[in-house]
Structures are given as structure tokens and as C-alpha cells.
Structure 1
Amino acid sequence: MLALAQLANSLGDGAYLVCSALYFTRIVGLSATQIGFGLTLGWAVGSVAGIPLGHLADRRGPKGTAVLLAVATAVAVGSFLVVRSFVPFVVAACLYASCQSGLSAARQALLAALVDKAERTAVRAYLQSTVNAGLAIGAGVGGLALQVDTRAAYLVVFALDVLGFLAAAAVLRGLPPVPPVPVTTTGGPVFAVLRDRPYALVTCLNAVMLLYMPLLSLVVPLWIVQRTEAPRWMVAALLVLNTVGVVLFQVRVARRVTGLDSAARLVRRAGFAMLASCAVFALSAGGSAWTAVLALLVAAVLQVLGEMMLASGAWEIGFDLAPADKQGQYQGFFGTGVPVARMAGPLLLTALVIGWGTAGWLVLGGVFLVAGLAMGPAVRRAARRRSAVGV
């Protein structure tokens, strides 16, 4: 049922992600700068909102909170249909990003409550495979809307996304009830995660590695067009390769995780894989079309391998280092890496890679490697703190 709920809203999200930029420019009439500012501010607000909304899931119950936030996200998507100017667009973007971040935190808390500790990473991998499959199918639907390129076609896509989140809310309602965490009277801070420095370090390292997210959607397409002789259809080919790779192999990669030590090792290997990927992406420039295609394919394979290893290790780390009675707020905090990558990644990576070329790719790969190597000591420090305070 968790997978079905994820599939329901990822189908609509896939179509939305493909069509949203053109809808806001061609139909609403916003400039690219206005869209970029609105989405950046929205994800900045969303990264902060995930923590209190995750805390709400702890205190009011993750199931009811997830249902409420799924409905709220549907309302946020629906609000885009009536946006006609910049300020309402910014408000809608903030609402959408906040609801998405809170929904993600509530879902992780719900998973932690319903699934045995030893199986959480495997289940999370299965859910991720489902999400990618839904996004791929939804992107196909969005592609049809782009081909039609009419106001009605875009509105249908947004309506489908609204229905997807409402369907997800309906499915989540059918899950077993999960009682809220009892409120303690120890006098500790409400948002304890903000005082947990070892967990904050782990979260920051994960956020750094999540900078891979804008690569295939933004940086690599620009690189292919501006710096290589590869045909433009390679942009779509690499996205398909990534999606299919996650759908087919994410669960298999996640089986390597059996605890915090194996999770940290997998993140370290992800750093090496991402470094190798960046180096091969750099090699795709300056040669013939065929050598560029070969280099891009090899780099994309290394990238998706690193992505799957990072995801599997990070899921285990994020869950296992969080106190059982504060999974919501801890997952909300750990999940801030995603909006931060969406917010800062495009600007940082385009300036680094497109501006610096080969040197930029190597610097980016080095950043991934350093973050991957640092994760092991950071996890061990966080685990010692958890043992010391008895959580």
C-alpha cells in the first residue's frame, strides 16, 4: 500500500515535472528569472518546513499527518491552475514545496513505524523503484502534453497531478493505524534534531552528495549541447538509462546494507563511483560523436550506480541514527538535502561544470569523494552519541 500511494502521486509528478516550466512561461507568462526565483524560494521554505511538519507527524501520528499533507499538496498543485502573476506563483511554490517536504518526512516516519528496523532500507529501495517507474510513465504523459502544446493539455497534466495526490491520500488512509509518540516530560528541546550536531553533520554530507540530482536534468544536457559532438537525443537516452537502472537494480543494491557500517561503506563507494562518473563525463568533450556517446553512456552508468549506493546507505543512516520517538522531525531534517540540492545545485553546478569545463568536472568529483569518505567517521561519531544518550 505504501508503494501504491507512491506510485499514485509519482505518475502525476512525472507529468508535472516535464510540463511545469513551459506552462509557467507560455501559459502564465512568467519569465525564466521569475520562475527560477520562485522555485528557489519555495524549496528554501520547504527545507525549513519539513522539520516542524515531521514533528507534527510524531505528535499527531504519521498516518493522519501523511494523509493531510497529501491532500494539502493536491491543493498546492491545484493552486497553480489559477496563478496568473508572479506573487501568487511564489506563494503557491512555497506552499507546494512545504507540503512536499512535510509529506516526505511523514511518510518516512510512517514507514519506520510500520516496518521492522531490519527491513526498512529494503522496503525504501522497493518504494524508490516504484517512484521511478511512476515518474517515467508520467513523463511520457507529460511529453504528449508538450507535443499538443495547448492550454487545455497543460491543465489536464496539472489536474492529473492533483488526482494523483488525492489518490495517494486515499490509499494511505487504508494503512494500519499508528499511534502518536507519547509526549515526554524530560524538559528537552521541542526540535531536538537541531541540537544533534553529529546527526547534522551526517545530514550535511548527504546534502553535498545529493548535488548529483541536477546533473542529468540540467547540467549534462547543457554539456552535451555546448561541449560535445554527441546528438541531442542522448539527453533523453541518459534519462531513460538512469530511470530503468534504478527500477531494475535499486532493490538489489540495497541488499548490501545490513547496518550502519555497511551503509557507510556503500556511501564511501558511491563517492568513488561519482568521481569516476565526473571524470568520464569530462572525457566526452573534444572527440567525435561516437566517442562522446560512448563516454556519456559509461559516465551515466557510473552515475546511476553511485546514486543507488548513496540512496541505499543514506536511508539506513537516516533511519538508524534517529531516535524512535522522533523519527518524523529527524526524517524532516535529514530530508532537507533534497530541497537544498534542488535550490542550490543548478546554480552551483552550471557555474562549475559549464564554466570551468574539465576542471569543473574534476572538482565536482573530488567534492563527492571527500563527502563519501567523511561519511564513515561522521556516522561512527553519531552512533557513539546515540549510545551515550541511550536513544
Structure 2
Amino acid sequence: MPHQILPPTGAPRVLAVAQLSNSLGDGAYYVTSALYFTRVVGLSPTQIGLALTIAWAIGSVTGVPLGALADRKGPRGTAVLLALATSASVGSFLFIRSFVPFLLTAVLYAVAQCGLAAARQALLAGLVEPSARTGVLAHLQSTLNAGLAVGAALGGLALRHDTREAYLAVFALDAAGFLLCAVTLLRLPVVPGSPARAKGEPRLAVLRDRPYAVVTALNAVLLLRMPLLSLAVPLWIVERTNAPSWLVSALFVLNTLAVMAFQVRMARDIDGPRTAIRAVRRSGLVMLASCVVFACSAAGLPVWATVAVLVVGAVLQVVAEMQQSAGSWQLGFDLAPAHQIGQYQGFFGTGVPVARTLGPLLLTSLLVMWGVPGWLLLGGIFLVTGLAMGPVVRWAEADRRRGAGNCATSHDGPADEYRTSAERHVTL
């Protein structure tokens, strides 16, 4: 199992340690934060939901300029500063006692998190050769899940004690984790920032890249699998099936362990746009099958049979998740210009907050209210989206080739100079 989680030595291993250091605290934070803010701080669920929705909406918008900042100033320093900002925001939650400070701190947390994700991707791109990036990201995803699982167990201890001190210890752990993440990132080599923009090149070029925007939108639709597992399936199990409620936790553990064990293997054969397209296409097909199986769990079967059907649906869902993740990682990097990885990854990463913001309302309406027809419609959406990725990626590649041709005839080679500089930092 360790070789499935730990990446190769060098920069990938250091990135994994940084990932693990903050995911431990995040796992504990995720399972305790709602109760902390309601029971200790005294906020209402409506206030918490409103603040987090606003915060992540702002965070998703700021990911692009913060990613562009990482491109210009260098991704390592930017990632370190944003990790420190995240640590500070989590630590600030310890002193929040009313709604407005909570909202402001939540905005800082979301902005720092979205920017940190973009800067980390740019840092990885500067340190790992293109053919190895998806494999390294698969290792990092396994590391992330391992940290979240252990952190969730620690958070469970805090929930068992259910005291103010226990919750405060969790927040302190998360803040310390991001502080350790910042220190760990300093062990990596410096990746140089990109040169000044070429004449006529927009400051945030990704906002004018229509093919990349469509790829990002399709990926956001496929990311609806995230609130599907965390919200829609639990509600479906409790309200529409005769399965025991403990199955909700069991399916979450199944998902976490599966990603830890098999994500690296799933990503092993993905090394370019063609293989990435096939992975995304397969993920759409498997998600359709998963939705059909989940729909069958409402057929009034014996309890043991309902449990078995739900487990099969969850297995298909996690297989689709691993294929979609690996394929989208490859496409997100391959379709981005080498000197603008940060801002492009910042834009590509908006799919996560968009799915988490819009997904709950959409999925609860489709599945809990519509029932079986909603599952079938959702499965069809996943299938069509997965199939659409191929033509859109080919459009993006053709657009990139045209853009490269225009650049070659309009100005000399600062971009080539940057690529040569960056390539000197690829060796681990």
C-alpha cells in the first residue's frame, strides 16, 4: 500500500508531505466545523450556509488572478504566502463570536485556499516533466485521502468529547497543518516566474480562451459527483430506501479507501490528451451505470439486497471518480500555455466551488424530489458531458496551434526563453 500512496523521491515526495500536513487538519476540520460554529460560536445553520456560499463564490473568482500572480512572481513563494494566509484564517476562527467577522474570515479562507490550489499546480508544473504530472497528482490525491481519513478520525474524537476545548484543538491542529505546509514548500527549488507579457497579450489570457472555458465548464458538470457522494446519496439512503443510516458512513469510508488504493493505478496509462479523453469518456459511461444502480435501490428490495445495490453503485461511482480525476488533471495542464499554468489552473479549479455551490440544490431537486427519473436524467447528463469532452478538447488544441502560429510570426521568443528556463528546473 505505501508505494501506492507515496510518490517518487525528490520534489513529488516533498509536495506529498506538504499535502499530508494540511489534509490531516482539514479532515478533522470538515467533520467538526459545523457543530463548532453552531454550538460554540452560536451561529445559525442559515448564517453558516450563506457565509460559506458567499466566501466560495468570491474564492472561485480570485483563483485566476492569484494563479497569474504565481506565474509572474514564482509559484513557490506565492504558495508559501497563501498557505500562511490559510493558516491565519483558520486560526482566526478560534476568536470569532459573531456573523460579520465569521463572514470576513470565511472569505479570507476561501480566497487563500483557491489561490493556494492554483499556485501548487503551477509549482508542480515547474518541477515535474509533463508526462509525469498526472501520475504525481494521483499520488498526491492518495496522500490527500489518507490524511483526510486520519484527520476525520481525530475529529471524531473531538465530536465524542463535544467540548469547546476539543473543537478549539481541532482548529489549532488545522492552522498548524497549513503552517507546516508552508515550511515544507520552502524545501522545494525555486521555480522562476514568467517574463513580462508579450505585446498585445491580455493580463488574464485564460478569460479570453473560449475552448478552455468550455472544457472547464464540462469538468464542473462532471464534478457534481462530489456533492452527490457527500449530500445527495446520504439523503437518498435515509429518505428513499430501507437501508440503515450507518451505510452513509460506510460508503464514505469505501470511497476514501478506494481512492487511496487505486487512484495511482487508474492514472498510470494517462500520458496525453488522447488517453485523458478516453478516461473522461469512460467516467461518464460508468457514472451513468452508477446512477442506474442507485435508482434501483428504491425498488423495495430486502434490506440486505438494498445495501448490496448501494455498495455496487458506490463502487461504480468511485471508479468513475478516479477516471474523471486523472483525465481532467491531464487536460487541465496540457491545454494551458507553459508560461501561464497558474492562472489557467486557477480558472480550471473553479469547477470545484461551482459544483459545491450549485450541486446541492440541483441534486436534491433531481434525486430526492424526482426520485428514479432524476437518477436517470443525472446519469444521462454525466454520459453526454463525458462524450462532449473529446470534440471540445480537439477544438482547444486547434485553437492553441493557431495561436502559436500567430505568436511565431508576430514577435520573437520570450515564451521560448521562458520554456527553456523552466525546463532547467524539471530534473528532480
> Which TM bucket (shorter chain)?
over 0.9
Q: Where in structure 2 are the equivalents of 1:171-210 lying within 5 Å?
A: 171-210=184-223
Q: What percentage of residue pairs aligned between the two structures are identical?
A: 65
The answer as to 2:61 corresponding to 1:42 is no
**2:19 — aligned with what?**
6
What is the deviation of 1:269?
Answer: 0.5
Q: 1:157 aligns with which of 160, 170, 187?
A: 170
TM superposition shift of 1:187: 2.1
Larger Rg: 2
Letter matched to residue 229 of structure 2: L
2:127 alignment partner AA: L
Q: CA deviation at 1:258?
A: 2.0
Say whether the 8 Å CA contact 2:142–2:261 is kept in structure 1.
Answer: yes
2:252 paired with 1:236? no
1:275 aligns with 2:255: no
Shift in Å at residue 4 of structure 1?
A: 0.2
- Determine if the alignment matches structure 1 residue 101 to structure 2 residue 92: no
- Residue 289 of structure 1 corresponds to 303
Code of the residue aligned with 1:368 in structure 2: it is F
Report the CA distance between 1:192 and its aligned residue: 0.1
Structure 1 segments of 4 or more deviating over 2 A?
Answer: none
CA contact (8 A) 2:197 2:203 kept: no
- For the pair 1:27 / 2:40, whether they are aligned, the reply is yes
Q: How does 1:80-159 map to 2 (within 5 A)?
A: 80-159=93-172
In 2, Cα distance between equivalents of 1:81 and 1:219: 31
The one-character-per-residue Cα deviations of 1:265-319 (angstroms, maximum 9, x if unpaired) are 1101000111111111111112221111001100000000000000000000000
Residue in 2 that maps onto 1:362: 376
Match of 1:265 in 2: 278
Structure 2, unpaired ranges of 5+: 1-13, 408-428
Hey, what does 1:167 align to over in structure 2? Answer: 180
Unaligned runs of 5+ in 1: none
Partner of 1:372 in structure 2?
Answer: 386
1:340 maps onto 2:374 in alignment: no
Q: Is the 8 A contact 2:270 2:330 kept in 1?
A: yes
Per the TM alignment, residue 107 of structure 1 is displaced from its structure 2 partner at its CA by 0.2
Shift of 1:210: 0.3
Structure 2: distance between partners of 1:79 and 1:340: 25
TM-score, normalised on structure 2? 0.90
Distance 1:351 1:100 in 2: 29
Asked if the contact 1:39/1:343 (under 8 Å) is kept, the reply is no
Letter in 2 for 1:86: F
Cα-to-partner distance string for 1:197-246 (whole Å, 9 max, x where unaligned): 00000000000100110122111111111111111111111001100100
Q: Residue 388 of structure 1 aligns with which residue? A: 402
SS in 2 for 1:126: helix
1:331 aligns with 2:345: yes
Asked if the contact 2:132–2:271 (Cα under 8 Å) also holds between the matched residues in 1, the reply is no
CA distance in 2, matches of 1:218, 1:265: 28
